[in-house]
Chains A and B, each alone.
Chain A
Amino acid sequence: MVIYKFMKWFREFGWRHLIGLIFAIISLYPILYVVTNSFADFANLSNSKLIPDGFTTKHYQSLTGDPLIPYYKWLFNTYKIAGIAGFLNVLLGTFAAFAFARLKFKGRRVGLITLVLVQMFPSFLAFVAIYLLFFQIGDVAPFIGLGTHIGLIFVYLGGSIGFNSWLIKGFMDTIPTSLDEAAKVDGATDFQIFYKIIAPLSRPIIVVLFVITFIGIYSDYILAAIFLKDANLYTVALGINIVFMDDFSNEWGSIAAASVIAATPIAVLFLFFQKQITGGLTAGSIKG
């Protein structure tokens, strides 16, 4: 009888828990492994294990003080680049979206379609041309050329501005036009309508797109790799890969600590905005 009951339970619920549990372990194990390893007292990868023998913060300490491994500089660079590029991206995107959503002009439809078409090609596809272009810009205006953060920020700006404009425009369309018509009657200019009404009401989508853009840039490798050659200017992705991975068995502890520090804020940010981000994702964009 007990067996029969168990079989019934298993047929209805049990197998679901079995599958659910297996994949929960698969999902969690590598993450836990890295977190425990970052505090574990071991020499290298070969004697690392999930439950460490001793507790130590030496791997975290190894990330400071060595001028050859300016880890926190990389972290700062990454936040700076992703922050500035993300901010300008949604700012300029919001401007453009406002025109497409609220102003009537010839070529509006064509412009919108062009935006989407252009953004179907990720900007890094043409990285050869971007490299050569900035190689030449470096001759003419060295402060924007290869090896500078400004140049990299410019490229990231172009990378998703079309898509962001499109999504923000879609959101603005849902704001009732009666609001700005009323304001117009009261003599408000376009800029005032934008600044006082439309932009504040669009804040939810703007914040989410900023987060998505920020995370995307934070995780980018290829464009940062063609731009940055000086170890002091690296982003986190470049720094960890180029400096640590050379000898990753012996550097395993540092890699684990560096990964935990680099991943935690992004993971928290992602989980915080999870619902909205997946909403945006199902609208077509994909996180890098």
Chain B
Amino acid sequence: MQYSTILRYLFLGVFNGFVVYLVPLTIAFESWFLLIITIIITLLVNLTYATNRLKPLKWITPGMIFLLSFVVFPAAYSFYVSFTNWSTGHILTKQQAIERLEDLTYTKDDQRGVEFDLYVLQDQNLEYYFLADLDNENLLFGKAVQENEFNAIDFANHEPSFKNSDGEILIPDNLYLLSGREQIANSSQLQELSLLVNKNTRIQLYNISVFGASSGRLLSAQQKYSYIAETDTLYDNVNDSACTLGNRGNFICNGQTIDPGWRINVGTENYQRIADDERFRGPLRIVTLWTFQFAFFAVFLTFFVGLLLSVSLNKDKLKFQKIYRSIYILPYAIPGFISILVFKGLLNPDFGLVNDWFGPLYELFNIEPINWFRTKESSRAAVLLVNTWLGFPYMFLITTGALQSIPNELLEAAKVDGATPRQSFWRITFPLLLVAISPLLIGAFAFNFNNFTLIFLLTSGGPPIVGADVAVGYTDILISFTYDLAIAGGRGYQFGLAASVTTIIFLIVLFISAVSFRYSKRLERVYGNL
């Protein structure tokens, strides 16, 4: 056997071993989509590398795995999620939600209701310990902890050595017994503490006594809900009543929806909300319109400035051309997020650089300095202003390239025919330039259509649209709006709804791409000979 063959089978063995480890886990967590991805990729890998027959695939498969897993599948998954109510309160699967509900407990006084002596102790680190004298078989001692530490601490131990044969309590040297007065002084803290007896039972300080020992009491935690598999319902142990199955992926007990629920398929509900719910549809309309406006003006302004500069500098014998060019590239060379964050500071109304610049203008027209991020118009202007600074170098570079590729004979011929410079620019240079770079302009439009970083870092979408049902602002574009909906809007996670907006974005990008494809095809036919 060849060396490479052994290596191949070794790789396949490790890979399949990993899959064998993963599959039961995906089933256990009910991650069906993950299971499907795993199976498809496993088939692909085995098909490719088990035999020597599919040579091209061997080269393509590694890259294809990542392209499939993290670009193609997420797109499909996004579509699936848009038909669910996956959101805060409906994050889990049904099985997980039931497990979570069955773990919930409520505390009631123990049936025995017995009070017993409880001693409060402290060690050198001022940590509290409880010693509970229940009866001779149960002299329980352990660290007293707050509720959030219950899982981190061991249960109390029976410590007969803390009592001598006469029934008197003996305190070890390293511990200090708090007096009644000291307990009263710290009572608010002490009342929060518990000594854990077992999983469901704990001991709390009940009554502090200034004379003699304080008393404690047993509390036991009971399971709050039990799941009844036969009827697929929940039983409420607190109120001794049966719950019903709600229709939105949850149980309803005594007329109240129980949290957590689970995610279910809700059909086209999210899309209906987009179409019908005015409190959602209204803001979405504003956002969609602005997304198109922003992308259009972003391209227009950067193109305008870029073209202005390239036309100005495209002149023989013009001095300093190289210096100008290398300066214009600088804004483009700096990572976008840095420039955006810096501009956020510079646009600060009170002491930002931009308002310093505009200072003379403000005085001339006797107007208040602009608070850039407060109103709809000014924040939109700020977004476009910053984007122009960021984007004009790109347009400058590509228009310069296109200008230089226009054959000189054409312009000279026009000159001979008596065309003015203006005529030859608008009739010859500009149309040819547009043809050459229109695919790039469409690309820039698509890029700005989803320019999340600019919007999110500069304005976070603000200022907010008042009266909207969701967190959304006047400079939000579709992708940043989706981000707020899904993750960062502060109104919980709304994955299902966000995914349905994602579908809209996908459709628009598809449309832009199709236009670009057809357009460049047509141009190729028309201007193919140039």
Contact = CB atoms under 8 A, between A and B. Distances in A.
A274 B329 contact: yes
Interface stretch (B58-66, B238-246, B374-382, B410-418): B58-66
B509 A120 contact: yes
B483 A222 contact: yes
Nearest to B327: A24
A64 interface: no
A40 interface: no
17 contacts: A17-B320, A27-B393, A95-B63, A105-B55, A122-B450, A124-B452, A125-B505, A131-B487, A136-B33, A140-B25, A140-B26, A154-B66, A159-B70, A226-B487, A240-B341, A241-B337, A267-B334
B487 A126 contact: no
B452 A99 contact: no
A286 B308 contact: no
Given A27-B327, A126-B77, A252-B345, A221 B456 contact: yes
A133 B74 contact: yes
User: Which 9 A-B pairs have CB atoms at the shortest separation, nearest pair first?
Assistant: A158-B70, A99-B59, A46-B351, A129-B78, A92-B63, A126-B74, A129-B74, A129-B77, A270-B333
B34 interface: yes
Interface stretch (B124-132, B171-179, B440-448): B440-448
A222 B62 contact: no
B330 A158 contact: no
Interface in A5-24: 12-13, 15-17, 19-20, 23-24
B468 interface: no
Given A133-B73, A221-B453, A221-B457, A128 B482 contact: yes
Given A122-B450, A284-B443, A133 B25 contact: no
A271 B329 contact: yes
Interface in B305-338: 305, 308-309, 312-313, 315, 317-320, 323-324, 326-338
B499 interface: yes
Contacts of B26: 136, 140
A259 interface: yes
A204 interface: no
A96 interface: yes
A224 B314 CA distance: 41
Contacts of A12: 315
A157 interface: yes
B188 to A, nearest CB: 31
Given A92-B62, A141-B22, 4 more contacts: A24-B328, A31-B334, A266-B335, A284-B439
B401 interface: yes
A99 B78 CA distance: 31
A219 B312 contact: no
B56 interface: yes
Contacts of B57: 99
Contacts of B333: 266-267, 270-271, 274
Interface of B is mostly: helix
Interface of A is mostly: helix
B99 to A, nearest CB: 13
A39 interface: no
Interface string B458-499: 000000000000000000000100110011100000010011
A147 interface: no
A36 to B, nearest CB: 12
A34 interface: yes
B513 interface: yes
Contacts of B392: 23
B86 interface: yes
Given A121-B509, A158-B71, A16 B487 contact: no
A21 to B, nearest CB: 8
B66 A131 contact: no
Given A128-B482, A161-B66, A16 B315 contact: yes
Contacts of B67: 115, 118, 158, 161-162
B94 interface: no
B77 A158 contact: no
B345 A123 contact: no
B332 A287 contact: yes
B187 to A, nearest CB: 35
B336 A219 contact: yes
Interface of A: 12-13, 15-17, 19-20, 23-24, 26-31, 33-34, 45-48, 92-93, 95-96, 98-100, 103, 105, 108, 111, 115, 117-133, 136-137, 139-141, 154-155, 157-159, 161-162, 165, 190, 215, 218-222, 225-226, 237, 240-241, 245, 248-249, 252, 255-256, 259, 262-263, 266-267, 270-271, 274, 278, 281-282, 284, 286-288
Contact of B486 (A128, A140, A248): A128
Given A155-B70, A158-B69, A129 B499 contact: yes
Given A24-B327, A95-B60, A221 B337 contact: yes
B262 interface: no
B71 A99 contact: no
A30 B389 contact: yes
B343 interface: yes
Contact of B312 (A19, A48, A161): A19
B71 A23 contact: no
B106 interface: no
A255 B71 contact: no
B74 A259 contact: no
A219 B390 CA distance: 13
B346 interface: yes
A97 to B, nearest CB: 9
A30 B342 contact: yes
A95 B60 CA distance: 6
A218 B482 CA distance: 23
Contact of B444 (A13, A122, A218, A286): A286
Interface string B354-398: 000000000000000000000000000000000001001110011
Contacts of A190: 55
A212 B100 CA distance: 47
B143 to A, nearest CB: 29
Contacts of A28: 327, 330
Contacts of B447: 286
Given A30-B343, A240-B341, A98 B502 contact: no
Contacts of B343: 30
